[in-house]
Structure 1
Amino acid sequence: MKKVLLFALFVLAVICLACFKIKPVMRVSNALMSEVKPSGLLNRDSLTITSRVNVPNGYKRVVYLKRSFQDYLRNYKLKPFGTKIINYDDTEYFWQMGHIGVLEISVPKNGLQQCADALIRIRSEYLWDNDRKEEIGFNFTSGHYCSWQKYAEGYRPKIKGNKVSFHKTSAANHSKENFYKYLNLIYMYSGTLSLYNELPKINDAKNLKIGDMLIKGGSPGHIVMICDEAVNAQGDKIYLLFQGNTPAQSVHLVKNLEDSKLSPWYRLEKDAVIPVSNYTFFDSKFVRFK
């Protein structure tokens, strides 16, 4: 009888121990699922940034002029909800849990269009489409300015170490096809470091607007762009962000994995720690295209 009683107590102890061990695992699993599940602010059938994401209660979108860069970005077209992030070589990116939309922008097979390059392309295409081609130009990491106008006239860089000079070695060509060859050149010699050194800094986060960028200039560095903006009655602002990445891949609208109730909206502060999808900005800085 004692043996039977002891055996029953042993079985009961094992069951209790198993239950104790399982509960934390279940809590971790539930927490993970709460981080990556789609936000209740999403309209899955919508195919632009502004229509894909609703604003939280108490907020309204900041108004911008039609045909402005801000209006262009928030109305950027998206692929159908659930589209995966694809690398330049047609493989799937290893982590698909950090985005709620993929932008309708191609990924060149040469692998050059990485994080900074994707934003350079989007800015350049906006200027091209709005007959502001004379404004298209970027610094190389060396600090030398390379404009689309000069490239279209046939000027090409001659690069020796940190020394760059431009020489007319090609016939003039103002075509769209040549424009993308120009962008490939920019992708090769520009990046987060050149953008950080070249572009105006935003020292007060209250002045942030659509089109501004959260940046870590370096090799490697990272950069993401504000693509929508909303404000409440107290003047508190929230933002949507998209990014390209390394390896070159689909440009995508990111979730806020730190705040599932606010996601995909972000609150942004200068010099703060800001996790964005699979990257963390530990000392956040902001820049703006000229």
Structure 2
Amino acid sequence: MKNKHISLLAAVALLFSAAACDSNRTTTTEGEGTDTADHAAMGHDSAGVQYQGTMGTPMEKGGLKVYSYSNSVDFPDAKLEQTAPEENATVAAGEVPFKYTVQNYELSKQTPDAGTHEHANSAEGQHIHNIVDNEPYTAHYTPEFTKKMENGEHVVLSFLSRSYHESIKHPTAYTLREVKVGNGGKTMDFKKDDQHLFYSRPKGEYKGADTKKVMLDFYLVNTTLSPDGNKVRATINGNEFILDQWLPYLIEGLPMGENTFKLELINSQGQVIPGPFNTVTRTVTLKE
């Protein structure tokens, strides 16, 4: 009887252990009972992984409310590789061919949780953000395209974007390279191994419901953010907000008309970190 009692207790313990393991399993947006490790082992993560994220504590100033969020479907195995132009290549001026390979991520597909995000979303689906010299990005829904570039030295950042324009922030999901176009033209004082900030969103014009919540997103290279380390100083219509997490942020309360965004990558003393792109200002327009 004693042995049977011990066996029964062991069986109950095993049952609770299995249940606990199952409750900690990461759930994907496609298929029941497939965890992150299993999904990666199958060699495809294009469906994404839904984590239980949170909303950051709102910062309020000048009628604006700014807060981070971390509940987007993620793609930890997404991979972007650039095959053209090659690193330090010299290419002819004009329409420059760009070519990429994309793994574990589907371009031109709606991100599974797009309907739950109350901000601008591209009807054309997931895409690549291509940023030349930290100018406004161009969005591309196929892995091959051409882009007009002027003579000179250029810095090209490319990264995978969800359909609602939020960047994939994993190390395998971006490429950064220097390209020489034609002969002559501008030169760049760019050190690839330094710490860099690139501006992504907001961009252009927002109308109707898309004006209620506007996403602020940026891309960091060779650095991260923390309360005691580097930060991004975002000055929105003259109101300063300090961002200490590399996450997307939502902004509520922007007025109709022109709105000015200034981003600066700063160190723990509040000083701008040297770099050609670490201070950037953009204007976006909101319309009814």
TM-score computed with the length of structure 1 as normaliser: 0.29
* Greater percentage in strand: 2
Q: Which has the higher contact order (CA 8 A, sep 6+)?
A: 1
* Greater percentage in helix: 1
Larger radius of gyration: 1
TM-score computed with the length of structure 2 as normaliser: 0.29
